[in-house]
Structure 1
């Protein structure tokens, strides 16, 4: 493995993050498990960053990819593409957005980039509202609106970004308030901010912040924001790259926890739809999607083989009610982890919903983030046969747990037991 690591370092950028002191090469997977180059098996609680949504090597998806690859893999968007139209039709119906149009990309970064292009063109403004502690991708424009210092290497941007309170419930100036007063304070802050600037193009927000450590506001915050935004004609972009497709259990889309005023104007998606294939996209009302007055194409967005994967994966998810499974098994897993946390002083909070769970670590007796402890638990979990992620806006001190949505109760208990031993070992 050290030979591969040395070769990696010789040809790839220093800033390309790798987990673990001894980086891991994953060679194959099945169901909720993966194997490394030494033949060791791990229970996968991170799914390639929430991307293996249903299961590793899901037969329905691998068959669809193989059959499509045997016909044609790619032709570009310059030609009619039946799998792309079929998947767009399904996503348009599922989105909840009226008169919806769908544009496919190759990643969540590109999807958010496209959403920003649409919003700023439609509104003729380059000012964007974003949430503190947010993450929206690694392109020049999406880095420029990301509200997480650890993932934003430059302040240069084609956009003027104004950051709004509310994405983190238990930190910041309003953390001491109850939910209703928290929402009121965030809305008041938004109103005050808008009184000092020309009307922005849009607010972009993750219903649950992914890289930020699976933090979220009280349900209804973005609905309350929407009322204020609508008074100014400002669009709402819901970044569903990590929260879409039923992962939160309670809802198919994260925006639905804030949906009393209807769906967002623009919705972005990626990651889990292709179950590992490179697919992302944007959904918007026709008047917004069609506002561009120049030609455009996507060479790789919507290519036939990724569309075949997306169709097969989405069909499997819906037919097997994986959203319901995320709600049931995720609820059990959260309660199990909260019971563990009650006995571990280093755990500040267990949060999340469905199979999108954050475990934040802090120095015992304080709110001071403890990234060293998070790293140590990550390593100890791997030693025990469990792969998890990490994140957070406060020195990456949160463990991120997001298994494939087909996780069984027995596998949830297996993973929780390994994580419990890792937490106790580090504590």
Structure 2
């Protein structure tokens, strides 16, 4: 990025619009798992536009679909029949696992979660919502109101009464010292106690793996155990799959499937990866929930033809090339390689994750204190080495976030791991 562009950015855009790096980067083009900046430097991309470039940069199949659709019609709104929207909705409904599913398309994950909260509160006639501590669900007024991560919640005002539940972070908090079985039992007991002191909630909204929170997750089965308690009381379960969907975790197509003994959620939300850079989000819900609204509604840009064409082409490529399996295989190799490298770096508290969704938590050596300066230093050093990664965490954690396109190959995984190892060693 030139100094002129940075100055123009600062002069006209909000101060709170975050930029990575001391010298912010202008990305001009990409191909496969690589991007280039305005100075011609090439980078291996391990963050994919915040998990949005799911398959590959400039994927020919998606580019072709977008170009052909743009030559026909780009947009008409939901007031008219839309074949690409119906085609994609049918595919998503079937893949969701939710019986008698209905799909509503939005333009972002924030809008998807906002819609899910609207549906849940209308269906249940309650504005009380359960959410997880350290969670993040978007930037809208209602989504901020259920975000349990202080660093991403700019106001305490909200149309919702939100109650926060333990369990999203396995290795911190009051139950961290318990084994998995007792951890789940303690979180369930806490949930039951919370429900005994509150008005009946509309829903629990939860990320199977917390994204902005630093790729943290509970033991498998926690949300199934929660679901059993909630189902007895008629409380809905919304699985926020904006970052975990479409096979990124390798083991499952959806994050909720790691907690599947009680069946699918009542609703799931999605976005990011399905569009491979195009603006697509959405909600899948059982028909009686989706159809509970008693007023008219439309979506001007949700489900527009050009984004639906991109989503269909991208989803076809994902399934035909078994990118979920690739995420499991290559992601497994990458996480083990990073754990081996991190074993020699005292600042690394934990390497965690599934598939191609990996977090590296950094602390001040010998303590559990977060070290955001170290996270920023590793981010800078990785960039200098030719690798782009992300960062996240709650107010008491600092984590690096690694989420490459799901077509990452073994050689690229090894290359990225080597750069990351050097970057981690540079902070010692």
TM-score (normalised: structure 2): 0.99
In structure 2, the CA distance between the partners of 1:232 and 1:393, relative to structure 1 (3 Å rule), is: same
SS, match of residue 154 in structure 1: coil
* Aligned residues of 1:207 and 1:216 also touching (Cα < 8 A): yes
1:272 aligns with 2:273: yes
Deviation (angstroms), 1:397? 1.0
SS, match of residue 29 in structure 2: strand
Summarize deviations over 1:352-394 as a string: whole Å, max 9, x none: 0000000000001111110000000000000000000000013
The equivalent residue for 2:6 is 5
SS, match of residue 259 in structure 1: helix
Summarize deviations over 1:308-349 as a string: whole Å, max 9, x none: 000000000000000000000000000000001110000000
* Aligned residues of 1:214 and 1:351 also touching (Cα < 8 A): yes
In structure 1, distance between residues paired with 2:289 and 2:395: 36
The aligned runs of 1:89-100 (5 Å cut-off) are 89-100=90-101
* Aligned residues of 1:34 and 1:44 also touching (Cα < 8 A): yes
Q: How many residues align?
A: 427
* Aligned residues of 1:374 and 1:396 also touching (Cα < 8 A): no
The equivalent residue for 2:248 is 247
In structure 1, distance between residues paired with 2:243 and 2:222: 19
The equivalent residue for 2:121 is 120
1:298 aligns with 2:299: yes
The equivalent residue for 2:359 is 358
In structure 2, distance between residues paired with 1:143 and 1:159: 10
In structure 1, distance between residues paired with 2:60 and 2:427: 39
1:325 aligns with 2:322: no
The aligned runs of 1:134-283 (5 Å cut-off) are 134-283=135-284
The aligned runs of 1:350-389 (5 Å cut-off) are 350-389=351-390
In structure 2, distance between residues paired with 1:310 and 1:221: 31
In structure 1, distance between residues paired with 2:411 and 2:230: 45
* Aligned residues of 1:113 and 1:141 also touching (Cα < 8 A): yes
The equivalent residue for 2:49 is 48
Summarize deviations over 1:131-187 as a string: whole Å, max 9, x none: 000000000000011000000000000000000000000000000000000000000
Deviation (angstroms), 1:396? 5.5
* Aligned residues of 2:170 and 2:219 also touching (Cα < 8 A): yes
Deviation (angstroms), 1:198? 1.1
1:416 aligns with 2:417: yes
The aligned runs of 1:49-68 (5 Å cut-off) are 49-68=50-69
* Aligned residues of 1:390 and 1:396 also touching (Cα < 8 A): no
* Aligned residues of 2:209 and 2:255 also touching (Cα < 8 A): yes
* Aligned residues of 1:213 and 1:390 also touching (Cα < 8 A): yes
SS, match of residue 261 in structure 2: coil
SS, match of residue 330 in structure 2: helix
The equivalent residue for 1:85 is 86
Deviation (angstroms), 1:395? 4.9
1:315 aligns with 2:316: yes
What is the root-mean-square deviation of aligned Cα atoms in Å? Answer: 0.5
* Aligned residues of 2:323 and 2:406 also touching (Cα < 8 A): yes
* Aligned residues of 1:336 and 1:416 also touching (Cα < 8 A): yes
In structure 1, distance between residues paired with 2:44 and 2:190: 43
In structure 2, distance between residues paired with 1:11 and 1:220: 47
In structure 2, distance between residues paired with 1:264 and 1:379: 39
The equivalent residue for 1:30 is 31
SS, match of residue 145 in structure 1: coil
The equivalent residue for 2:349 is 348
In structure 1, distance between residues paired with 2:426 and 2:240: 36
1:101 aligns with 2:90: no
* Aligned residues of 2:250 and 2:326 also touching (Cα < 8 A): yes
In structure 1, distance between residues paired with 2:175 and 2:371: 22
In structure 1, distance between residues paired with 2:260 and 2:397: 30
* Aligned residues of 1:349 and 1:359 also touching (Cα < 8 A): yes
Summarize deviations over 1:83-137 as a string: whole Å, max 9, x none: 0000000000000000000000000000000000000000000000000000000
* Aligned residues of 1:371 and 1:395 also touching (Cα < 8 A): no
The equivalent residue for 1:286 is 287
Summarize deviations over 1:233-292 as a string: whole Å, max 9, x none: 000000000000000000000000001110000000000000000000000000000000
SS, match of residue 252 in structure 2: coil
* Aligned residues of 2:214 and 2:359 also touching (Cα < 8 A): yes
Displaced runs of 4 or more, over 3 A: none
